[in-house]
Structure 1
């Protein structure tokens, strides 16, 4: 049942993020609420702890990038919902696959725009000076709907598990 709900949430989030560049609260927040209730009913306090720990790990993994302006709040809530549904171990490994997919997408986009080496040069130059003051947000971030990476990373982990890590 949880797998079916997760799949529905991921597909809806993928569609809305591609179409409108938004992951909707009407999808993520009820999912989080459902996960807490479901796990509490199924396993009592242990289930509640399972869901809460997954929620907080999922939230924590993307909170800093969100605070730095690297992604939207919907991405953070989607990862928290994944954690609430599947627990902290699942969301952690799904995040690893998500980061790999996100990195591949970013490199492909930079190559397509012929900006990969220029971006690395600006970042390395700023790092050598030990300051990021001279960099614009666009120097560190080439926006794409990160929900795509979250969805595909989670689906890959659902299919492969941690066997490739």
Structure 2
């Protein structure tokens, strides 16, 4: 089991590094990770591991795809979360996805606060909630800039791994 976790954390860590530097996650990295996750599940649980891997990937994908559809994240983030799921049991993929969402939310708020734009952003969101219309962030507003969400996915993955390791 340890080898799969090392592979997963290496892939997720590399994706986070690339996303931080270039604001993209290469498809080749995601495909390699999916292949490794599927192979690890089959090796560990036989052919039934293939089904487990597919369900877990679908969980990560299903949780993140609405955010992509609403313009809140890039397609690479959705694919990366699905890749992470291939290494996990369904419950763990669900926890990793939810922890990644929380890490992304906290990270985004910290970034906005560090730039002194928390009040400005909260006002914009309050207006949007009241009018049910999207207001584009100002050009200088950090909320409108790209966010390397692979870092949040890495943190959610690590958190899920630690939870399932120490909660036994």
TM-score if structure 1 supplies the norm length?
0.86
Give the CA deviation at 1:152. Answer: 1.4
8 Å Cα contact 1:98/1:150 also seen in 2: yes
Give, in angstroms, the shift of residue 156 of structure 1.
2.1
RMSD: 2.3
Matched, 1:136 2:136: yes
Partner residue in 1 for 2:55: 53
1-structure distance, mates of 2:75, 2:159: 23
Q: Which of residues 55, 70, 73 is equivalent to 1:71?
A: 73
Deviation, structure 1 residue 15: 1.4
Contact 1:106 1:142 in 2 (8 A): no
Using CA pairs under 8 Å that are at least 6 residues apart, name the structure with larger relative contact order, 1 or 2: 2
CA contact (8 A) 2:30 2:83 kept: yes
Where does the alignment leave 5 or more consecutive residues of structure 1 unmatched?
none
Gapped regions of structure 2 (runs ≥ 5)? none
After the TM superposition, which of the residue ranges 52-61 and 10-19 deviates more from structure 2?
A: 10-19
Alignment length (residue pairs): 162
